[in-house]
Amino acid sequence: MPQFADVILPLALPKPAYTYEVPDGLVGDVQVGRQVEVSFKTNRRYTGVVRALHAEVPPYATRPILGVLKEGVFIAERQLLFWEWLANYYCCSLGEVMQAALPARLRLSSETRLVLCADYQEGSVPLTEEERRVVQALLSQKKFGLLEVQKILGKKTVMPLVQRLLNKGVLTLQEELRERPRSQKIRAVRLAEPYRSDPERLTTVLDCSAAHEGLQRLVLAYLSLSRQRPWIDRREILAKAAATEKDMNALLREGVLEEYDPSSASVTEVDREAEGIEPLTEQQRQAVEAIGAFFAQKKPVLLHGVTGSGKTRVYVELIRKTVRAGGQVLYMLPEIALTTQMIRRLQRFLGAQVAVYHSKIGDGERAAVWSAAAEGKPVVLTARSGIFLPFKNLQLVIVDEEHDPSFKQQEPAPRYHGRDSALYLAHLWSASIVLGTATPSVESWYNAQIGKYGYVSMPHRYGEVPLPEIQLIDSSEQHQKGQMQGLFSKPLLEAIQKTVEQGEQVLLFQNRRGYSSVLECRTCGWTAICHYCDVNLTYHKQRHLLQCHYCGYAQALPTTCPACHSAKVVLLGAGTEKVEDELKIFFPKLRIARLDLDTAGTRNRLNRLLSSFEQRQIDVLVGTQMVTKGLDFDNIGLVGVLNADRLMHFPDFRSGERAFQLLLQVAGRAGRKHKRGTVLVQSWNIRHPVLQEALRGDVEAHLQRELNERQRFLYPPFVRLIRLQVRHPQEASAALLAQELAVVLRQQLGRRVLGPTQPPIGRIRNHYIQEIWLKLEKSAPLLAGAKSFLLQTVEQKLAQPRWQKARIYVDVDPH
């Protein structure tokens, strides 16, 4: 009897899977969850995943499966269920979920371009005859695709062989060369014997090295750091001691210090090393006990702890219990910027039991973490994409900063929310889940109030340090008195001066990057607009360019108006670059730096910036919302918010909630360790309710007001929202298609359909945009029926030849 396999392809296709015949020679090798090589369309090759096996003969001619990737990944049943839930809930194809889930080297296709790894040396890896022929061809041709491999070997199926060469480290993908995979090996340093057993002997070393200050500093730095953590990275001790590699090598040669790999330590050893960490405070102990009680009830837990309350120490305690019991932990953060500090904190307690997974690591590194998770790596620290990893025994999920909008994927599909998807993933594994934050999202707060989530509060800062003092500065009053100097009020400038004189650091928050956001002609009113998007071009002084932050279009700064040729062309608005520039005029002797996408676009640059600030090599750090998200520095005495009004005056029902969260989060960076910090907020409307709630730090009052307004006007969490976005190169066509869609949808859903309307930015990348919104009651059958009808309607419209240039995006629970 013939056997057939339904195969998921990594493409946005209407069918969830396509049926292929299993050749007799592959029966037994083809299994559900196994990767297989198949052809699609005009003999293009793809790595698919087997979704189901059956004997039902399809009513059309089928193609055979070409091969099985035995050294590829295996997608377990739970993962397939999770993929299907994501596709169904977020109204996308199963192929789009697969595309998002698998690193590039785990989803080979005809378009894949292969190159030899730069560090590959002939003879270093045992190769079969066929593998050797491919390598020899690459040595002369440098790069080629899978079709060339087929021709070289005279075989139809080559993906299993290519996968083996990738796994052996012989080949890499051309796209991976943009960011070479970096080794995560930790070069830890510790005392060598006999000094480790008898630290008193170090007195002799210090006396002998008195003539060499660098060696002395290294030994003292090691002793200082060793009291704080179980192991120390070589780079960390060099930075603290301000010593050179030459000094370190001298101590290693003399046998005072030695390098070792902490990843070889067992969990038991790590626990023993971590016994010296600070004990739980009474508040933290109560939180751990309360969370455990809710875990016993199988409830998700909302952990609401003020900034600096020690939530991370609570997480660590939960992680250690889970790892001791043999379980795995998924620790999710919204921003890659946060992983640097969090890696160090977790490694302090758990050594190298922690793997890191996010979009800024190389693809080879991503594939390695994927394999490590499948093999049972105890802790994975990740951004939202970590939900796709193949866990072996997931028992605890931590979603830190659960309120953060960065957990929502915007482009491309699936447009999933990391926090909400993690809740379903935990449900599939029967795992415990904690949602932690200092400023809960309205939805999570509501779920805690109605008893769907457990609720645990940590209202006090660690060490009983009081919350920062927030002061509002009336920009209007300052302007009338003539005390505004550029972007800065007089009280803010005085506070910056005083803070730095006291040896403390300053954090300034301006939620816009670039130098100026508008270039305008004062004669005729012309403004510089992007050629492809309906947005103003932002001026970046460092590059001396006007740039669009949506499509990347850039042009030179004109000296005269292109419309009327007037020379009265002025720059308006202020971004972080301008703030930094003006600050250097007021304080020329201060060390000032900027943290935004322009200065911290790569992992290395971001790490260097954060490290410099932590080591107090920077007096004032100016940044966008990257500086608000969980960064923990112990010497920030002052936080300044330059323009709070921009946070609140935005056409979105979440704008008040987001503004409140950003204000409290950035305020929480001040005075976290030893003393109370100060927060100065400049605003033209200091009586705004969001500012008054932030001034009091009254989270409950803010959330209750938001809930009342949303209930009155029917917004989440009281309804479900789905946004339908229609895009077309012609404005009239976009409007017509959106109108047709709205008419059909109203026939089924009535008043639940709102629009179509043009969004605030009506054109992006030369495509005009119209939006339709669905407001649906919280009913599972209604939601499922509406999604099914919506997808059917969209598919029917796009199948019409006149709409072949149109694009329609469905966004469930938009943020």
Peptide bond into 759 cis (omega under 30): no
Alpha carbon distance 317, 295 (integer Å): 14
DSSP three-state, residue 309: coil
Residue type, 207: D
Question: Domain-by-domain residue ranges, the chain?
Answer: 3-106, 113-178, 188-260, 279-454, 469-513+576-709, 516-573, 719-812
- Collect all residues with Cβ–Cβ distance below 8 Å to 448 and sequence separation of at least 6: 302, 440, 454, 455
Alpha carbon distance 428, 435 (integer Å): 17
Residue type, 805: K
Question: pLDDT tens across 507-551, in order?
Answer: 999 989 999 999 999 999 999 999 999 999 999 998 899 999 999
Q: Which tops the pLDDT comparison, 703 or 355?
A: 703
Which helix (H) or strand (E) element contains residue 508?
strand 505-509
CA–CA–CA angle 527, 533, 538 (5° rounding): 50
Q: What is the mean pLDDT of residues 569-581?
A: 94
Q: 184: pLDDT confidence band, cut at 50, 70 and 90?
A: very low
Q: What is the mean pLDDT of residues 129-151?
A: 82
Enter the tokens of residue 441: 């999202």
Residue 232, pLDDT > 90, answer no
Q: 111: pLDDT confidence band, cut at 50, 70 and 90?
A: confident
CATH-assigned architecture of domain 719-812: 2-Layer Sandwich (3.30)
Alpha carbon distance 334, 483 (integer Å): 39
Q: For the chain, give the mean pLDDT.
A: 87
Q: What is the mean pLDDT of residues 189-215?
A: 73
* Helices 245-253, 213-226: crossing angle, 10 deg rounding: 80
Residue 786, pLDDT > 80, answer yes
Amino acid 270: pLDDT: 40
Alpha carbon distance 678, 665 (integer Å): 13
DSSP three-state, residue 794: helix
Alpha carbon distance 309, 774 (integer Å): 40
Amino acid 317: pLDDT: 94
How large is the C-alpha radius of gyration of the chain? 29
* Helices 77-89, 418-429: crossing angle, 10 deg rounding: 140
Enter the tokens of residue 259: 């390098």
Enter the tokens of residue 481: 């008195």
Percent pLDDT > 90 in the chain is 60
- Hey, what CATH class is 469-513+576-709 in? alpha beta
Residue 407, pLDDT > 50, answer yes
Question: pLDDT tens across 610-660, in order?
Answer: 778 888 889 999 988 877 765 677 789 999 999 999 888 888 999 999 999
Question: pLDDT tens across 40-87, in order?
Answer: 887 788 899 999 999 999 988 899 999 998 878 899 999 999 999 999
CATH 3.30.43.10 is right for the domain spanning 279-454: no
Name which of 815, 727, 812, 712 is nearest 87 in CA terms.
Answer: 812
Which helix (H) or strand (E) element contains residue 159?
helix 159-167
Residue 457, pLDDT > 50, answer yes
Amino acid 218: pLDDT: 82
Same fold: 3-106 with 719-812: no
Q: Pairing mode, if any, of strands 188-191 and 232-233?
A: antiparallel
Beta bridge partners of 394: 328
- Range in 102-116, 399-413, 575-589 with the lowest mean pLDDT: 102-116
Amino acid 179: pLDDT: 36
Peptide bond into 414 cis (omega under 30): yes
Match domain 3-106 to its CATH number in 3.40.1440.60, 3.40.50.300, 1.10.645.10, 3.30.70.60. Answer: 3.40.1440.60
Tallying the residues shown for the chain, one arrives at 815
- Collect all residues with Cβ–Cβ distance below 8 Å to 4 and sequence separation of at least 6: 19, 20, 21, 22, 53, 54, 55, 56, 57, 58, 62
Amino acid 365: pLDDT: 78
Amino acid 629: pLDDT: 66
Amino acid 259: pLDDT: 82
- Collect all residues with Cβ–Cβ distance below 8 Å to 305 and sequence separation of at least 6: 287, 311, 314, 436, 437, 438, 457, 458, 459
Residue 119, pLDDT > 90, answer no
Residue 269, pLDDT > 50, answer no
Alpha carbon distance 89, 812 (integer Å): 8
Beta bridge partners of 505: 636
Residue 304, pLDDT > 60, answer yes
- Range in 176-185, 346-355, 587-596, 791-800 with the lowest mean pLDDT: 176-185
Q: What long-range pairs does 123-132 form, CB within 8 A, spacing at least 24? A: 125/168, 125/169, 125/170, 127/168, 127/170, 130/161, 131/161, 131/164, 131/165, 131/170
Enter the tokens of residue 472: 């509002």
Residue type, 588: P
* Helices 576-586, 490-501: crossing angle, 10 deg rounding: 70
Q: DSSP class of residue 16?
A: S
Amino acid 631: pLDDT: 66
Amino acid 727: pLDDT: 97
* Identity of the highest mean pLDDT range in 380-384, 493-497, 631-635: 493-497
H-only helix segments in 688-779: 689-696, 699-713, 731-749
Residue 789, pLDDT > 60, answer yes
Total-model pTM: 0.83
- Written as one string, the DSSP assignment of 650-705 is SSSTTHHHHHHHHHHHHHTTSS-SSS--EEEEEES-TT-HHHHHHHHT-HHHHHHH
Amino acid 230: pLDDT: 55
